[in-house]
Structure 1
Amino acid sequence: MQDLYLNWIDGAWAEGGAGRMTVENPGTGQALAEQALADAADVDRAVTAARRVHESGVLTALRPVERGRMVRAMGAWLLDHHEDLARLLTLEQGKALWEARNEIRNAARYFEYYGNQAETLEGRQIPLGAGYMDFTVLEPYGVSAQIIPWNFPMEIAARSIAAGIATGNACVVKTSEMTPLTSHAFGLAAKAAGLPPGAVNVLTGWGHEAGAALASHPGVNQIVFTGSVGTGSAIAQAAARNIVPCVLELGGKSAAIVHADADLDAFLGDVRRGIFMNAGQICSAMSRIVVHRAVHDDLVERIAGLARSIDVGPGIDRDAPLKGMGAMASGPQLDRALALTARAEAEGARLVTGGRRLNIPGHFMDPTVLAGVDPASEIGQTEVFGPVVSVMAFEDEAEAIAIANGTDYGLVAGVFTRDLDRATRAAGRLRAGQVFVNEWFAGGVETPFGGYGKSGYGREKGREALWNYVQTKNVAIRLR
């Protein structure tokens, strides 16, 4: 680990015009390292470098298989440095070390997947009758601006960089100021893979300065953002002024419907991954459990027992998969989760377990279970982004669907039942971009991901994500 981390602009490390900031270790509350902060001028330099790469045609002139090999090589570099990156990620973000290792592997997998997809994108021939030849060509937008959150800084950046480069775009990545350190790896990986200077640029800066400058820059052709609804709305407005398309992934308040015939023992494993992994700081977290009244009390006690069994403390010391839970990413994030929990209890929800700050250095919250939650209450509607699960009872299938669909979000949902007909009916009626049946987080990098409603628009992951990075050109030829 270094004492100072810089920005990666046009193939070289660079200081930032906005000075430096101290990055905190949320597992101890102590300073970890310094990070150079980019300002609007640094953003302009990065966009200019990316624009030069695009306009030179150096990426699009390659055969797609050659571009794909470079993308795959970036993933291979991450795997070669897997352990060091995982430890750094744990120290700056707070998650358990076993989770950080998984994140680095998943980041590498995106580069593998999209590297393999690079040569599969093809246009089509359109018959217009005798005397005409008509066909379509898929072309990159040019400069892809990618604004990355702090909860999965490596994995989320990887999925957009890999798709962007595979389709021939040059990328300017703005990391979160809370978790900037590990992201320096993408500059090193791009250089090792032989990508030209300026093809991948990685900046850290304040959202109101560097983020706003990037979202509104006239040299940007496409924007990918993951984060809050408020910030996503501001980015969409800035992009609209330049008529620039966006992909927005803005979180959720996702529900798992548990029927009386569900395998409750297996479901506990889904709860462990769905809400207590990464201290609940997951856009697609299982933040609501909507359970049939016949098994409600039994399941609440099982979930409470699971929550009490989780070993909470500094992530760097928690290496056993599915056992320990690390810190929340910051003090304000912890304070917000605690406040939402306290207000829920005051409004009538029953605090079954947790709901408190651990009395140790760092930003730790006990895994928390709330029962008797009113679906229309603040806790029933608001994304906590913490290790807090709300349990709600239902009587029949229609009520369960209504509760699950009863928020402004629509990112993911789940159905747990042995009845395939019931699960299929629910999948068709749930208002969510992805529906899990009998396993939360089923799928992988191959499956499209994105939301309905205020969870955003556009898709990431899977082949569907590639269409966000290309535009269709039609060529019509009159034959003589």
Structure 2
Amino acid sequence: MTDMTVIPSIGAALPATPFHARHLIGGVWQDSADGAVSERVSPSHGVVVSRAAKGGKTEAEAAIAAARAAFDDGRWSGLTGKARAAVLLRVADLIEANVERMALLETLESGKPITQSRGEVSGAADLWRYTAALARGVAGESHNALGGDMLAVTLKEPIGVVSIITPWNFPFWILSQKLPFALAAGCCCVVKPSELTPSTTVMLGELLTKAGMPDGVVNIVLGYGHPVGAVLAADPRVDMVTFTGSTGVGRAIAAAASGTLKKVALELGGKNPQVIFPDADLDSAADAVVFGVYFNVGQCCNSGSRIIVHADIAEAFTAKVVDLSRKVAFGDPLDPNTQVGAIVSAEHGAKIDGYVQSAKAAGAKVVLGGGALTVPGLGAQFYQPTVVTGVTPDMAIARDEVFGPVLTVLTFTTLDEALHLVNDADYGLSAGVWSENVHTCLTFARGAQAGTVWTNTWMDGFPEVTFGGVKQSGLGREIGRQGLEEFLETKSLVMRIGRTRANWVRTA
């Protein structure tokens, strides 16, 4: 404990009253019909920071009806791409003007550092600007070689009403990977944020109204997966559901949606490896490994939670990672110097620790951390930076998504062995390779079963570059042009030019 970097409470002033979050349905802000509410206690500061309306089937069905009516009358889908883009650009400007207000609530609800919340909110504005450009470029294709009397074109049309269900770990960023792309396509939406982090989604609803979004185009229902999420997935008036979260919940959503055969897009878990070869820039690799596993307290689908290190350098490289880990600042999320904040809940902290203790019992060695971290003035809802060696591929800690600041270390001797370890997993979200040999990097990139492969970097992302996983890491893609295509249907239009078709029925 004493050789780790811990930032105690800075005693920052907290909001005098909890944020009041309500549903947005058909352009009207409202509480739940039965008056139910849920409270969010800050995982870092232990006080109630938001009080949200707790929706049920009534609110979910009303929101779906509002979105359905808005889509069917064309108040949004019937606008030009230029008109939709103008609204999206205004939203981006409003997001940037409200970064501090939104970042504070996100930090208090999630436990992440304030600097990260600021980056998440301000960075999301760029996603909205990018989708504004996409809105003006929705296009199909033409087929002009079908003969002199035939012409065919494909049209790209909005899929319709979309249910958007978002998680607690990146509540504003992940919403912005989905909602503006759906809106750019011309869809109408019902959004359900996590009950743990509802506030920034509600704040966005306020900004949408200020930006001139027509009533009913974006609806927000607060509450739990049951019943709200279940209704949003199963209702026949919904044409598509997009979800980010755990693989288990993703399976349940796909099952609920199967009754109406609606489209499903899922961005799920990962057990993401970084493979380090002896010829890599080991200082850069170690820094990226530390960033990859502790960013957002490891509560990240892209967390680099396992490293696969060449046996010749494994001991020295692990020592370098452990040394850097001790320098990472864990503590009060409201201190700008903090790099790692609180675990989202005590229950999740216990789950993380369960994986570590199980690995120890199975023969692994915890060379750093391995338990709760007490931050002076804030309590114990934090977890120590943890590095586990002596891990075998069959251990749960090496295969399951721990979703915490826990790094496992495995070793390899050949490229083929490394790829086997990478691909011997249920997940396939992302992977990384560190080597100065371009042939090694390209061979690895082509052989790794992952939606994203980083070479000599980790977790760099851009609005232009699509994101998503293979295997049990999900279905579909987000951001980039493919992120727009997810919300579009293709219609083929076949036209005969002139009266050139011979009659099928013989009349003589």
Query: Shorter-chain TM-score: which interval?
Result: over 0.9
Query: Residue 443 of structure 1 is aligned with which of 456, 461, 467?
Result: 461
Q: Are residues 1:459 and 2:474 paired?
A: no
Q: Secondary structure at the match of 2:257?
A: helix
1:299-324 Cα offsets, whole Å, 9 max, x none, are: 1111111211122112112x13xx52
Q: Are residues 1:218 and 2:252 paired?
A: no
Counterpart of 1:158 in structure 2: which amino acid? S
Query: Residue 126 of structure 2 is aligned with which of 109, 112, 115?
Result: 109
Instruction: Identify the range of structure 1 (342-351 vs 410-419) with the bigger mean alpha-carbon deviation.
Output: 342-351
Query: Residue 6 of structure 1 is aligned with which of 22, 46, 56?
Result: 22
Counterpart of 1:284 in structure 2: which amino acid? N
Q: Secondary structure at the match of 1:176?
A: coil
Counterpart of 1:286 in structure 2: which amino acid? G
Q: Are residues 1:351 and 2:366 paired?
A: yes
Q: Are residues 1:66 and 2:60 paired?
A: no
For this pair of structures, how many residues does the alignment match? Answer: 477
Preserved contact between residue 29 and residue 363 of structure 1 (Cα < 8 Å): no
Q: Are residues 1:251 and 2:269 paired?
A: yes
Preserved contact between residue 78 and residue 185 of structure 1 (Cα < 8 Å): no
Preserved contact between residue 466 and residue 479 of structure 2 (Cα < 8 Å): yes
| TM-score, normalising length: structure 2 | 0.92
1:81-121 Cα offsets, whole Å, 9 max, x none, are: 01111111100000011110111022211101111111112
Preserved contact between residue 17 and residue 37 of structure 1 (Cα < 8 Å): no
Q: Are residues 1:475 and 2:475 paired?
A: no
Query: Residue 404 of structure 1 is aligned with which of 422, 428, 445?
Result: 422
Preserved contact between residue 64 and residue 166 of structure 1 (Cα < 8 Å): yes
Displacement of 1:66: 1.4
Counterpart of 1:414 in structure 2: which amino acid? G
Counterpart of 1:9 in structure 2: which amino acid? I
Query: Which residue pairs with 1:281 in the alignment?
Result: 299
Gaps of 5+ in 2: 1-14, 499-508
Query: Which residue pairs with 2:41 in the alignment?
Result: 24
Displacement of 1:133: 2.2
Displacement of 1:458: 0.2
Displacement of 1:446: 1.3
Preserved contact between residue 374 and residue 381 of structure 2 (Cα < 8 Å): no
Cα distance in 1 between the residues matched to 2:239 and 2:287 = 42
Counterpart of 2:341 in structure 1: which amino acid? G
Q: Secondary structure at the match of 2:252?
A: helix
| TM-score, normalising length: structure 1 | 0.97
Query: Which residue pairs with 1:41 in the alignment?
Result: 58
Displacement of 1:30: 2.5
Displacement of 1:10: 1.4
Displacement of 1:362: 4.8
Query: Which residue pairs with 1:75 in the alignment?
Result: 92
Cα distance in 2 between the residues matched to 1:33 and 1:199 = 25
Q: Are residues 1:85 and 2:106 paired?
A: no
Displacement of 1:189: 1.6
Query: Residue 344 of structure 2 is aligned with which of 317, 324, 329?
Result: 329
Q: Secondary structure at the match of 1:225?
A: strand
Query: Which residue pairs with 1:290 in the alignment?
Result: 308
Preserved contact between residue 254 and residue 288 of structure 1 (Cα < 8 Å): yes
Cα distance in 1 between the residues matched to 2:189 and 2:84 = 14
Instruction: Identify the range of structure 1 (126-135 vs 33-42) with the bigger mean alpha-carbon deviation.
Output: 126-135
Cα distance in 1 between the residues matched to 2:328 and 2:497 = 71
Query: Residue 309 of structure 1 is aligned with which of 327, 333, 353?
Result: 327
Cα distance in 2 between the residues matched to 1:273 and 1:173 = 31
Q: Secondary structure at the match of 1:198?
A: coil
Q: Secondary structure at the match of 1:47?
A: helix
Preserved contact between residue 287 and residue 324 of structure 2 (Cα < 8 Å): no
CA RMSD, 1 decimal: 1.2
Preserved contact between residue 185 and residue 487 of structure 2 (Cα < 8 Å): yes
Preserved contact between residue 186 and residue 202 of structure 1 (Cα < 8 Å): no
Query: What are the equivalent positions in structure 2 for 1:263-278 lying under 5 Å apart?
Result: 263-278=281-296
1:183-232 Cα offsets, whole Å, 9 max, x none, are: 11221121111110111111211111111111111110011001111110
Query: Which residue pairs with 2:200 in the alignment?
Result: 182
Cα distance in 2 between the residues matched to 1:207 and 1:61 = 32
Displacement of 1:174: 0.5
Query: Residue 123 of structure 1 is aligned with which of 140, 146, 154?
Result: 140
Cα distance in 2 between the residues matched to 1:334 and 1:455 = 23
Query: Which residue pairs with 2:355 in the alignment?
Result: 340
Q: Secondary structure at the match of 2:183?
A: helix
1:370-411 Cα offsets, whole Å, 9 max, x none, are: 111111211010000000010111111111111111110000
Query: Which residue pairs with 2:9 in the alignment?
Result: none
Q: Secondary structure at the match of 1:33?
A: strand
Cα distance in 2 between the residues matched to 1:296 and 1:171 = 49
Cα distance in 1 between the residues matched to 2:311 and 2:403 = 26
Cα distance in 2 between the residues matched to 1:312 and 1:442 = 23
Structure showing greater Rg: 2
Q: Are residues 1:365 and 2:389 paired?
A: no
Preserved contact between residue 188 and residue 218 of structure 2 (Cα < 8 Å): yes
Q: Secondary structure at the match of 2:357?
A: helix
Q: Secondary structure at the match of 1:241?
A: coil
Preserved contact between residue 164 and residue 190 of structure 2 (Cα < 8 Å): yes
Preserved contact between residue 55 and residue 222 of structure 2 (Cα < 8 Å): yes
Cα distance in 2 between the residues matched to 1:290 and 1:106 = 31
Instruction: Identify the range of structure 1 (247-256 vs 67-76) with the bigger mean alpha-carbon deviation.
Output: 67-76
Q: Are residues 1:384 and 2:383 paired?
A: no
Cα distance in 1 between the residues matched to 2:461 and 2:340 = 23
Preserved contact between residue 287 and residue 321 of structure 2 (Cα < 8 Å): no
Preserved contact between residue 39 and residue 210 of structure 1 (Cα < 8 Å): yes
Gaps of 5+ in 1: none
Counterpart of 1:278 in structure 2: which amino acid? N
Q: Secondary structure at the match of 1:348?
A: coil
Counterpart of 2:485 in structure 1: which amino acid? W
Query: What are the equivalent positions in structure 2 for 1:113-262 lying under 5 Å apart?
Result: 113-127=130-144, 128-262=146-280
Cα distance in 1 between the residues matched to 2:374 and 2:292 = 25
Cα distance in 2 between the residues matched to 1:43 and 1:314 = 36
Q: Secondary structure at the match of 1:363?
A: strand
